[in-house]
Amino acid sequence: MSELVEVRSSVELPSRRENITLETSDGLKLVGELATPVDRAAKATLIMLHPLPTHGGFMDSHIYRKAANRLPALADLAVLRFNTRGTSSPRGTSEGEFGEGVTEVADVMAAIAYAKEHDLAEPWVVGWSFGTELALKYAVDEDVLGAILLSPPLHRTSDDELLRWNNSDKKLVALIPEFDDYLTPEQAALRFAIVPKIELVAVEGAKHLWVGEAATKRVLDEIVRVVNPARYPLAETFQLH
């Protein structure tokens, strides 16, 4: 018997879930999960880099958890989430300790390598807050199609690191909340002016943590618009069989 469900809040749509372990070049094991569509191949893969672990960020930060719960079914996307070194979640704790965004280069490389080794389709990096710093610093020369930045604070990313993106053919998109605590749309326009290729998306009414269903839906919609536009905008209902 089929049931039409409304896609809201904590609804978890069908997907294949697999616990994975990433192995870094400096010998650490990082815990993670790969969610993929149930009955068809994924069109693209999202490699999720989570917010600052010293301020509560982890692979289950709400936007990322909801991406894994919804996007395999609604948008034919694979969602790869993991805890960076020293970070804990219900999935487990990754080995190592927080490296201030420096030693985490090996974590980013391990995730991208996993996607390549497992032939995951069209990998994209998605960073949120601290995760945007990792994306901007370390993904520019790697085997990904581009980076999507959610609430970039630009605390750890230098102008030299930003300038490297001008020499890349990778797509770069940033979602900037109107009421962000660290970088407002006006400030983002100034800081990112040295990277004219970037697409800046100012999101009215939103805050750094993207709290609320309207903010969640907007973020997930914008991700899908970039990586699989055929599924944009996301459906608001889903037929369970």
Q: What is the mean pLDDT of residues 219-239?
A: 97
Tell whether domain 3-240 is in CATH 3.40.50.1820: yes
Backbone angles phi, psi at 99, to 5 degrees: -115, 20
pTM of the predicted model as reported, rounded to 2 decimal places: 0.98
SS3 readout for the chain: CCEEEECCCCCCCCCEEEEEEEECCCCCEEEEEEEECCCCCCCEEEEEECCCHHHCCCCCCHHHHHHHHHHHHHHCEEEEEECCCCCEECCEECCCCCCCCCCCHHHHHHHHHHHHHCCCCCEEEEEECHHHHHHHHHCCCCCCCEEEEECCCCCCCCHHHHHHHHHCCCEEEEEEECCCCCCCHHHHHHHHHHCCCCEEEEECCCCCCCCCHHHHHHHHHHHHHHHCHHHCCCCCEEEEC
Residue 1's pLDDT is 64
CB contact at 8 A, 13 and 35: no
Segment 72-100, tens digit of pLDDT? 999 999 999 999 999 999 999 999 999 99
Q: Is the pLDDT at 224 greater than 90, yes or no? A: yes
How many whole angstroms separate alpha carbon 151 and alpha carbon 77?
Answer: 22
Domain limits, the chain:
3-240
Confidence of residue 10 (pLDDT cuts 50, 70, 90): confident
Share above pLDDT 90 across residues of the chain, in percent, rounded to a whole number = 97
